[in-house]
Structure 1
Amino acid sequence: MPDVPDDEVDLLIDAWSRRLPTADLTPLDVMSRLRRVSIRLSKLRAGAFATAGLAAWEFDVLAALRRTDPPHELSPAQLIDQTMIGSAAMTNRLGNLSERGLIDREPNPRDGRSVIIRLTAAGAERADAAMLELVDRERLALGVLSADEVATLARLLRPLMDGR
C-alpha cells in the first residue's frame, strides 16, 4: 500500500496517544473519520437540496411521499415513522410544506378525525430534482474510490447502522 500522508484524524490520535498513552484509540481511526464524512455529507446534501429550493427536512418529508406508490400519500404517523421526527415537529413541517404548495392535506376517508398527506405535482418535481442533484454530487464525492471499494464500503458500513 502506498505511503499515505497523515490526515487530521491521524494527528488527533497522535495527540491523544501522548496524553493517554495506555488508552486504545483504535476506534477513533474509523469513528472520527465517519463523523467527518457525515459532516461533509450533510453539507453536500444541503447544497444539493438547495438547488431544488428545499431544506434537508423538506426533502425528507417530500421524499418519503415520493417513494410511495401513486397517489403518493401517507398519514402523518407514517411520515413520522419514516422521517424519525416527533409529532410536533411534523405538524410544523407539514404546515410549511402545505403553505408552499408542495403537499396537500386532505381528510382521511377511512377516519374523519385524521388527515392524509398527498404530494403535489410541484412537490414531486422538487423531490425528483433534489434527488437527481444529490446522486450526482454523491457520485462525484465517491469518485475517489473504485466501484469495488464503494461496494466494500457499503457492505462494511451496513452492520454499523443498527446502533449496537
Structure 2
Amino acid sequence: MPVTDSDPVDAILEQWRRERPDLDVSPMGVIGRISRLGDELDARLRPTFAASGLGEGEFDVLATLRRSGPGAELTPGELTASMMVTSGAVSKRLDRLVGAGLVHRRSSDQDARSRLVSLTEQGRGLVDAAVEAHLANEERLLAGLSPEERRQLAGLLRRLTLSLPAG
C-alpha cells in the first residue's frame, strides 16, 4: 500500500475546520493519531503473542519477571505496579500462568501471607522466544521510520507522557 501525505485524521480535521473555523482543532491531529495508532498497533501485536500461546497480559507478566533478572521473585503487588493493571487482572493472569507451568508461586519466608512469583524454566524459555518474535514484529512495524525518526518520536512521546497532569 503506497504511503500518502494524507490520512483519515486529516479528513476529520478538514471537516471540523470547515464547520468550526473558530476552533483550533490541531490537538485532534495528535490525540486522534495516537489513539488510532494505539488500536492499530495492538491489533498487529496480538498475533505474535498468540503464536506463543499467550495473551498480551500473560506476555506482560512473563516479560516483567524476565527483565527483573535471573531468579527474580516478585510479589503480585510489584507485578501490579509494574504493569499498571488491577490486582484482580494480575491474579487471573497468574492463575493461568501457574496452570500452564510458566510461573511458580510460593509463600514468602518473611511473611507467610505474602506470595512470591518467579519464572519456571519453561516460562523463561517461552518468554525468551516470545520477546525475540515481538521485537522482530516491532522492527517490522517501525520500518517506515529511520533510526533518527524513531529516536525523535520516542523522545516526543516520552515528553508528552511526562507532561500529562497526574490523574
Asked if these proteins are the same fold (TM beyond 0.5), I'd say yes
Match of 2:89 in 1: 89
Q: CA offsets, 1:135-163, max 9 Å, x none? A: 11111111111111111111111111233
Find the residue that maps to 2:124 and give its secondary structure.
helix
What amino acid sits opposite 1:158 in the alignment?
R
Match of 1:150 in 2: 150
Q: Percent identity?
A: 37
Q: CA offsets, 1:5-57, max 9 Å, x none? A: 32101001111222222110011222211112111211122122112111000
Match of 1:61 in 2: 61
2: CA distance, partners of 1:149 / 1:15: 29
Query: When you count strand as a share of all residues, which structure comes out higher?
Result: 1
Q: Is the 8 A contact 1:97 1:103 kept in 2?
A: yes
2: CA distance, partners of 1:89 / 1:39: 20
Match of 2:127 in 1: 127
Map 1:6-21 → 2, pairs under 5 A: 6-21=6-21
What amino acid sits opposite 2:97 in the alignment?
L
Q: CA RMSD in A?
A: 1.3
- TM-score (norm: length of structure 1): 0.92
Match of 1:108 in 2: 108
In the TM superposition, residue 91 of structure 1 has moved relative to its aligned partner by: 1.7
In the TM superposition, residue 72 of structure 1 has moved relative to its aligned partner by: 2.6
Runs of 4 or more above 3 Å deviation: none
What amino acid sits opposite 1:78 in the alignment?
E
1: CA distance, partners of 2:108 / 2:25: 54
Match of 1:23 in 2: 23
If asked which structure has higher relative contact order (CA below 8 Å, sep 6+), I would say 1
Q: Is the 8 A contact 1:54 1:126 kept in 2?
A: no
Q: CA offsets, 1:42-94, max 9 Å, x none? A: 11221221121110000111111111122132011111111111122222221
Find the residue that maps to 2:71 and give its secondary structure.
coil
What amino acid sits opposite 1:99 in the alignment?
G
- TM-score (norm: length of structure 2): 0.90
1: CA distance, partners of 2:139 / 2:105: 35
Could you list the runs of 5+ residues in structure 2 that have no partner in the other structure?
Answer: none
